[in-house]
Structure 1
Amino acid sequence: MQFREGEITHEFQGQPHTFKFKYRDPWEWLVDIVTDPTLASSIIWYPVEKYLHHGNMIIRIYDEVNTGKRWWEIQDQLPRKHGLPHCFLPLHLWLDKGKVSKTTKKHPIVLRAAFLPSETRNASGNGGGVFIGCMPIVCNPNDTIESEDDTPSSVELAQFKREVYHKVLHVIFRSIRKRSHHGDTLKCGDKIRRVLYPGFLIHSVDGEEGCATCGTRGAQAKHSCPKCLAPKLELSHLAKDFVSRTQHGMIHDFKQAKHMNYSSRLNILRDVGLHYVKNALWKINNSSPYEAYSYDMLHAFDLGEWGKHLWPLITEKVLKHSKNKISRNMRQIPRWRGLKHFSAAAEIDFADGNTFRDILKCIIPCIVQLLPHNSSLVHCVRTSAVLRALAGLRIVRQDHLELYKEFLVKYEKWFSNEHDKSFNYPKHHNLIHLPEDVENKGCTESYSTRPGEGFHQQIQQAYDQTNFKNTDPQIIQIDENQEAIARIRMFIDIHDQHLSSLTSAEDLTDGAEPPPAPVVSMANYALGCQELVISEKAEFRNCIAAKVFCSSLRVYLDLTATCEIDEGDRPTGFLTLTPYQCLYLTYMSVEDWREKTDILRCNPSFHNSPRYDCVVINTNPVTFGRLEYVFSCKDAEGQKCDLALVRKFEDSCWRPKTKWEGCRVLREKEYGFVLLKYLIRGCHLIPTLDKDKSTYYVNDLVDNDAFIRFFLDK
């Protein structure tokens, strides 16, 4: 794929402005993907409907893009004739403005194949995103949609930017325009000839780019939402339905304004929140920019709704009376694998979306005792966290969407009590469009901007290799070289892998017969960090319950474990113990039914601090416990079993100042033994901080599996 040169000229304030750019032909890239035999088995040609038996109900589920309804609707409109199959070829568009140095910004455009599974589409390498080109940055790059309104000067500048934007897109996507209407016949990687109709199903963009691709007005305009015609003063209404934007309706309004004088044209377009710009995507079939614009968890929620609005509201209200207490409480939160630990959370000046997301997961226990009784802010934050968790599920069920809509109503109720904060802003309003996006395009992972954000780093690395003069052609050449190297590397790896598999088969079977099937272990755990073997009479310096350990262990093995361990496998007599400080606990996630592993610690000095993680025990109902000692016990005849000494928890009658929905408080109970095979998964318990140290909150937001187990299915 070679880059081509493009040029457009547009007049602004009586002066012509010329913009030169380089771009790749998207159709050439699509042909490479579709005809690639290594990806033939991964390409999704047709949409599917997925259902789940849940109790006595059959519930529709959404995960990949092809499970959404929009692909179905487009596919059903295509010709159905005998002979070659006609298939919709959905595309995923990502573009964003980012810094490559302290003073320089670039605006890369990336295309992804939405007809590939997310693991392939969102990864780098063959089948991943392709760099199409750089969008010219017009005028002052510091101007954003936040400062755009309906004043004539603001409209004139914003309209100029949109016109340049869409003229560039018009040139870049010229090759797929006719093919989107009439199709093009290709012999695909699976040796079947198909008639393919490309179109844009998903735009993964932030708010500013969404307004640019849709040609709509900025955040301060009368109608600023790219998906509907919600008035500016009603953006906080989450339980109200608004008129949706449609491509047919917007084209009609544009054509109507075209025949009006200047003042009448401004009035018509202001009432529908449009600029007088001919959208380049209107001419591409099945590519409505208003339907393709998708809810982005990174910019709209993590950095927007939570990071820019709710988090500053919390720090303002709490720090006003309790300075530094948020940071102090956050420091006391137990560490957890995959969760950032904060030493000065309230003093963070800048944070990325992942940081804000981790703060949201554990902020409520840190602020609930610092705010008044039955605080609406606590309920507001909790409801937003539940909305975030529901929206972030990898497998979304229809009942999850119904619950999401219920929590939208609750969210509106609680934030209406925060009278010193206005919620009339677009990213808050966009919450009502998320269920529609999930139903039409699958789960939010399908259109997240997170995979594309990593491309800014690639552009920055390429920029650093230039001489910092006329950098676009140099960046393009560097990208071409890197793609060529990656493709060569891929074929070498495939060849080496093939040779390695043949060699292994010959080594195992001496070339006489196929290799034997691998042995599969059914154990759900593994042990690590082995310590020295000791006897049961030894002094347990690392065991908190050392005084009762020996007698309790013998009672457990002789009495309690008789029904849990076969008599021939139960250790008896003199025992030797092998302690471990790490437990790998494998379980099936109830979110997407994939295998997950928790790495749990039972260590008196893990990075110079004691760490004793907590687990969920398979009882009826399930119980919680803290790992105090993990070990294997073995007798003289070699009989062995793996056990853990745990500090068990039970429900506490103590309640915080504000009991939020789903709040569960546990208190420490007695010690006890449990076989490791009865541990389900790890759990994250947060101390009540201002209460005594023996009570804990269950953190049901630490991951999606915990959210479903401890909140949705409790």
Structure 2
Amino acid sequence: MRSLRQIESVWGQLTQGHLDRPLQALRKHRWSCHGITLGEQAQTGQQAPRDSAPRPQAGRRPPASSTIQPSVQGSSSGPRTRGNIPSLVNLPTKDSIRTEFYPKRKLSPEVVELDEYNARRRRQRTEYPTELSDRPPYYPFKTRLDFDFAELVFKSSLQKEQITQLLSLVQRCVNQEDTLTYQDFAGLQASWEEAKHLVSPFELSAISVDFGDETIIHDFWHRSIWKWAVECLEHPALAPHFVWDAEKLFKFNGERWERFVNEPWTGDRWSEIQDTLPDNGVPLCFIIYADKTELSSFGTAKAYPIYVRLANLPSHIRNGNGLGGAILVGWLPIIGDEHPAAGKPEWVEYKRAVYHECFVKFLECIRDPSFVGKAFTCGDGVRRTLYPCVFILSGDYEEQVVMASVRGLGTPHPCPVCLVHEDDLNKFSRDWEYRDAVKTGALVTIALDESKTDEEIQSARDDLKEMDFRVIENTFSGVANSSPYEALSFDRLHNYPGGLAKTRIVSRILSKLGASKAVPAVELRKKINARAREFPRWRGLSHFDNISKKKSYQDSNKWEDMARVFFYILQDVFTAEDEEGCQLLACLHVFLNLNTLSSFENHSETTIKLIETELEQFMTEIQKLCDIIGEEWLFPKMHLHMHMTRDILAKGVTRNYTTKTFETLHRALKEFYLWMTNFRDVDEQILNADQRSQVLKYIKGLIEFYNEIAELNETSEAEGTLNRKGEGGLKHAYGNVTLKAPQGSRSQALVRFKFDPENTLDIYARLFTGFNFESAIRSFWTSHAEEDLATLTTESKIRAFRSIETFFTSEETWDIESNILRCSPSFYRRPRYDAIMFNDGGSIVVARLLSLFVVYPNDEPGSDVPLALIIPYDTSVPASLKQKDRKIGLYRVRQVLQPQPEFIFARQIIRGTVLIPADENKQDFFIFDVLDSDMFLRVRTMLGY
């Protein structure tokens, strides 16, 4: 089945073409595309927004049924095209995906349809092993019930007395299908001890570092990341998902092949590393994160964890919470300031030295294999020579400074990865002088070599000081292909929501709104707060009742949402005479564009160029603001996003190295501290708890894998019986939509159905004066006679619904995504009538969803038709107003003065959207384009960008 986007597009005829025509490379990276010459340019197929006076209801025309069914189930769309010369039969269609494999593998490029590409991303790379272990997956627990009991006890944080009491109760009613063998706490404890070997245990190392004439010893807990990686490689559920070779991906846009990246192995750095390895060698790429966190709400108990992930696993596994996700691998010592030298530069230097000495010990297990390789038979049965490396270092700015061994904030060169001068932190450039690990390492070696002359040592130290390096051997540079200045990556979380939004732009807006008690200021704040309270609700979007009041949110997502909301509710607040206010909104607009673009899960040449354009514009707008307010924004986070496109091109999209997926793991440590320790000497107690949680995760992964294999074996003789979830079995599913929240116990006769706007439509009830529901249904039916609908009779029935899930092809991920939309008078005790985008004969129309129905003309299967009752926002907007809105990135829709409700086929609904009133009149609305990446791109197309 083709995707929605493919079906809606009208392809041009491809009359001639050739592949491998080099195009201009982006920046200094080895990005290349492959051109296609068209005899007749292919049309994009993008639906245009409708902007004209509303037509009569009969004029609403859905596309053919196929055009509103996105492909949910991946399938091959014909023979694949291999090789550099396209077949005259199998020429690429728009949205075809081309994969170029790592050259040493000598595989021809492969072209598949988008549906097949998406399906492959969700499948394992190799086959699951056919032979399973003789031992049950819950070993060393004696029975499955023993394991389930142990998991329950662990998650409930029960103590010995509680466990003993629980066992005495459970043992009275043992399930005959399984057996609970534990008689006391000791039995459970014995199973835990026996299961320890399944996951690499923590080891305690004494790290001694000299401070002057004093030698100070610190405890450092760590587990071998090599052993953990081996456990993942051997695990039958994970082994088929590992990716070893670099790949280059291209998408055919109707004119040429355009390269795009997503996973780490699709970027340039993977292939650069693989170029340094023997032909039989493959990289084993680690992602390492470290940061301090508070365990107690009062901040008295702290931790300094190290987490690791494997970049060789796909993102849905790597960033997930289950098997193959991040694991706690280190517990760095927190060095206090009780020492007499605390606060002095040499003490800061000492703490950095301890940090890197801990990492020396931590990385010891992969140092030698990174240079000479280590042969290993993986879980898929293939023997490979693995070369481990530190592929990505993830951390906030403060942590990156420590990882890079630089002095950081307040120095002439504060950037961890390049040598930008502090006076140029607010400048845009595409060419930065990057720090060199080899050059720096050589200087540090000389500076610490007592056999060198004083002049040589001093010269090396002066050179290091000039670049603001600390005289410390950087441990990451001691691992092959692990330069910290290549591995350090843009941190979207702390740079955008928790950085520029929190500390600068939103903070400046809040200060401007101020706390003045003057009547105009008070009234303005009331107006702004009222708009924020009425801001439409959407899943994942924070809601603010008092947005104008300064707060100290710890959650960066709150600051991100505040920035998004402010841009829309302040549009008519700052007058043209208020230069600062207007310029703040200009800065906020570009910031929101960058914030959204940085979240993309696919980045093409086009979106990379768009990021660079927005970065340049952002620096320009910020400088205008600084000129107005008399400040200079010279701080690292104004500069760090200059390296975002470099990181994307080298290591894939930002979700591969964001700190957001790591910081959520701190929650488990806090729970361990709160419920599984006695609050004294907690380090070992927390690590023991984590060890047990990893054992549970390991065994649970095995159980799920065994169950999956068993299910596949049971259905192997009935090919095609495994449908996608809900297909053919979901009662109210209709292709791309599924109706939910049915009203009443059953359908009612249409002639007796009571449509009650007063009690079901809240403020929209006034629109239904004189509205005859049954007549409207029959009129709609008559106007769509060509749709081959079953005839309505006196026996026809109808049923109301209050929710709908829509499935659509994302403009950004190119995969199937979904929205759940509401039309309810009381959703969590509030009226909720979501806005929608629907397809009206090839044009996109925005509307308000008021009600949902399924009409049953007769009892014949398949005759039922889902309908939506809407209020369209499709009257024309003056050209001058449209042009003004377009300059600031806004798309306005307008409701007629006397709106008339109308029916559409529910399957015409593409997706939900959020509409923000342009003013208190609530006749004009802005589309909330920064709702998600798909909406962002749709609105850009509607604006003609």
Q: Given that residues 700 and 707 in structure 1 are in contact (C-alpha distance below 8 angstroms), is that contact kept between their aligned partners in structure 2?
A: yes
Indicate the larger mover: 665-674 or 698-707: 665-674
The alpha carbon displacement at 1:254 in A equals 2.7
182 and 378 in structure 1: CA distance in 2 versus 1, 3 angstrom threshold? same
Partners of 1:497 and 1:592 lie apart in 2 by 28
Q: Which amino acid aligns with 1:661?
A: I
Q: Given that residues 625 and 646 in structure 1 are in contact (C-alpha distance below 8 angstroms), is that contact kept between their aligned partners in structure 2?
A: yes
Q: Given that residues 318 and 370 in structure 1 are in contact (C-alpha distance below 8 angstroms), is that contact kept between their aligned partners in structure 2?
A: no
Q: Which amino acid aligns with 1:384?
A: F
Residue 416 of structure 2 is aligned to residue 217 of structure 1: no
Indicate the larger mover: 260-269 or 590-599: 260-269
Partners of 2:303 and 2:334 lie apart in 1 by 8
Correspondence for 2:877 = 652
Correspondence for 1:206 = 396
Partners of 1:86 and 1:265 lie apart in 2 by 36
Partners of 1:424 and 1:494 lie apart in 2 by 53
Deviation by residue 1:392-446 (Cα, 9 ceiling, x = unmatched): 0011111101011011111111111222343211112011100000000000011
Deviation by residue 1:371-394 (Cα, 9 ceiling, x = unmatched): 233711111001000011111001
Q: Given that residues 223 and 232 in structure 1 are in contact (C-alpha distance below 8 angstroms), is that contact kept between their aligned partners in structure 2?
A: yes
For 2:699, what is the secondary structure of its paired residue? Answer: helix
Correspondence for 1:280 = 475
Partners of 1:221 and 1:139 lie apart in 2 by 24
Aligned with residue 126 of structure 1, among 319, 323, 327: 323
Partners of 1:490 and 1:118 lie apart in 2 by 17
Q: Which amino acid aligns with 1:89?
A: L
Correspondence for 1:629 = 851
Residue 612 of structure 2 is aligned to residue 383 of structure 1: no
Partners of 1:402 and 1:712 lie apart in 2 by 16
Indicate the larger mover: 226-235 or 311-320: 311-320
Q: Given that residues 329 and 366 in structure 1 are in contact (C-alpha distance below 8 angstroms), is that contact kept between their aligned partners in structure 2?
A: yes
124 and 691 in structure 1: CA distance in 2 versus 1, 3 angstrom threshold? closer
Residue 923 of structure 2 is aligned to residue 702 of structure 1: no
Deviation by residue 1:289-329 (Cα, 9 ceiling, x = unmatched): 01100111111211012122211011112336443544332
Q: Which amino acid aligns with 2:505?
A: L
Deviation by residue 1:446-501 (Cα, 9 ceiling, x = unmatched): 11112211221222222231222222222222222222233233333444455566
Residue 308 of structure 2 is aligned to residue 111 of structure 1: yes
Correspondence for 1:468 = 679
Partners of 1:666 and 1:616 lie apart in 2 by 12
Residue 775 of structure 2 is aligned to residue 548 of structure 1: no
For 2:237, what is the secondary structure of its paired residue? Answer: helix
Correspondence for 1:490 = 701
Q: Given that residues 369 and 656 in structure 1 are in contact (C-alpha distance below 8 angstroms), is that contact kept between their aligned partners in structure 2?
A: no
64 and 232 in structure 1: CA distance in 2 versus 1, 3 angstrom threshold? same
611 and 234 in structure 1: CA distance in 2 versus 1, 3 angstrom threshold? same
Q: Which amino acid aligns with 2:771?
A: V
For 1:488, what is the secondary structure of its paired residue? Answer: helix
Aligned with residue 529 of structure 1, among 721, 741, 748: 741
Deviation by residue 1:529-568 (Cα, 9 ceiling, x = unmatched): 2224363574533353432343443332212x123x215x
Q: Which amino acid aligns with 1:590?
A: E
655 and 331 in structure 1: CA distance in 2 versus 1, 3 angstrom threshold? farther
Partners of 2:844 and 2:384 lie apart in 1 by 53
536 and 687 in structure 1: CA distance in 2 versus 1, 3 angstrom threshold? farther
Correspondence for 1:369 = 572
Residue 866 of structure 2 is aligned to residue 642 of structure 1: yes
Residue 912 of structure 2 is aligned to residue 682 of structure 1: yes
Indicate the larger mover: 333-342 or 199-208: 333-342
Correspondence for 2:562 = 359
Partners of 1:574 and 1:495 lie apart in 2 by 51
236 and 641 in structure 1: CA distance in 2 versus 1, 3 angstrom threshold? same
Q: Which amino acid aligns with 1:681?
A: R
Q: Which amino acid aligns with 1:156?
A: E
For 2:206, what is the secondary structure of its paired residue? Answer: strand
Correspondence for 2:838 = 617
Indicate the larger mover: 289-298 or 522-531: 522-531
640 and 385 in structure 1: CA distance in 2 versus 1, 3 angstrom threshold? same
The alpha carbon displacement at 1:710 in A equals 1.4
Partners of 2:855 and 2:604 lie apart in 1 by 44
Indicate the larger mover: 611-620 or 426-435: 611-620
Correspondence for 1:35 = 234
Q: Which amino acid aligns with 1:652?
A: V
Partners of 1:124 and 1:625 lie apart in 2 by 38
Q: Which amino acid aligns with 1:613?
A: D
Q: Which amino acid aligns with 1:483?
A: Q
208 and 640 in structure 1: CA distance in 2 versus 1, 3 angstrom threshold? same
For 1:346, what is the secondary structure of its paired residue? Answer: coil
Correspondence for 1:97 = 292
Correspondence for 2:60 = none
Aligned with residue 785 of structure 2, among 562, 565, 589: 562
For 1:417, what is the secondary structure of its paired residue? Answer: helix
Q: Which amino acid aligns with 1:535?
A: L
Deviation by residue 1:230-251 (Cα, 9 ceiling, x = unmatched): 1111101123632111212322
677 and 657 in structure 1: CA distance in 2 versus 1, 3 angstrom threshold? closer
For 1:41, what is the secondary structure of its paired residue? Answer: helix
Q: Given that residues 362 and 699 in structure 1 are in contact (C-alpha distance below 8 angstroms), is that contact kept between their aligned partners in structure 2?
A: no
Partners of 2:718 and 2:701 lie apart in 1 by 30
Q: Given that residues 337 and 343 in structure 2 are in contact (C-alpha distance below 8 angstroms), is that contact kept between their aligned partners in structure 1?
A: no
Indicate the larger mover: 516-525 or 370-379: 516-525
Q: Given that residues 378 and 658 in structure 1 are in contact (C-alpha distance below 8 angstroms), is that contact kept between their aligned partners in structure 2?
A: no
Residue 553 of structure 2 is aligned to residue 350 of structure 1: yes
Partners of 2:482 and 2:723 lie apart in 1 by 48
Correspondence for 1:509 = none
Counting only pairs closer than 5 Å after superposition, residues 285-364 of structure 1 correspond to structure 2 as 285-319=480-514, 321=521, 322-347=524-549, 348-364=551-567
Aligned with residue 625 of structure 2, among 418, 422, 443: 418
The alpha carbon displacement at 1:659 in A equals 6.2
Counting only pairs closer than 5 Å after superposition, residues 102-251 of structure 1 correspond to structure 2 as 102=298, 103-140=300-337, 155-239=345-429, 241-251=431-441
Indicate the larger mover: 302-311 or 417-426: 417-426
Correspondence for 2:603 = 396
75 and 497 in structure 1: CA distance in 2 versus 1, 3 angstrom threshold? closer
What is the TM-score when the length of structure 1 is the normalising length? 0.91
Q: Which amino acid aligns with 2:336?
A: C
Q: Given that residues 570 and 641 in structure 1 are in contact (C-alpha distance below 8 angstroms), is that contact kept between their aligned partners in structure 2?
A: no
The alpha carbon displacement at 1:158 in A equals 2.6
Correspondence for 2:892 = 665
Partners of 1:635 and 1:172 lie apart in 2 by 70
Q: Given that residues 447 and 458 in structure 2 are in contact (C-alpha distance below 8 angstroms), is that contact kept between their aligned partners in structure 1?
A: no
For 2:348, what is the secondary structure of its paired residue? Answer: helix
The alpha carbon displacement at 1:593 in A equals 2.4
36 and 513 in structure 1: CA distance in 2 versus 1, 3 angstrom threshold? closer
Q: Given that residues 318 and 367 in structure 1 are in contact (C-alpha distance below 8 angstroms), is that contact kept between their aligned partners in structure 2?
A: no
Percent identity, aligned pairs only, is 27
Correspondence for 2:922 = 693
The alpha carbon displacement at 1:657 in A equals 8.9
For 1:323, what is the secondary structure of its paired residue? Answer: helix
Q: CA RMSD in A?
A: 2.6
What is the TM-score when the length of structure 2 is the normalising length? 0.69
For 1:50, what is the secondary structure of its paired residue? Answer: strand
Deviation by residue 1:672-706 (Cα, 9 ceiling, x = unmatched): 22111111111111112x34111110011111111
Partners of 1:165 and 1:600 lie apart in 2 by 50
Partners of 2:405 and 2:203 lie apart in 1 by 26
Partners of 2:562 and 2:569 lie apart in 1 by 10
Q: Structure 1: any 5+ residue segments left out of the alignment?
A: 142-151, 507-511
Correspondence for 1:51 = 250
Partners of 2:858 and 2:404 lie apart in 1 by 75
Deviation by residue 1:321-354 (Cα, 9 ceiling, x = unmatched): 4435443321111111222222123333224122
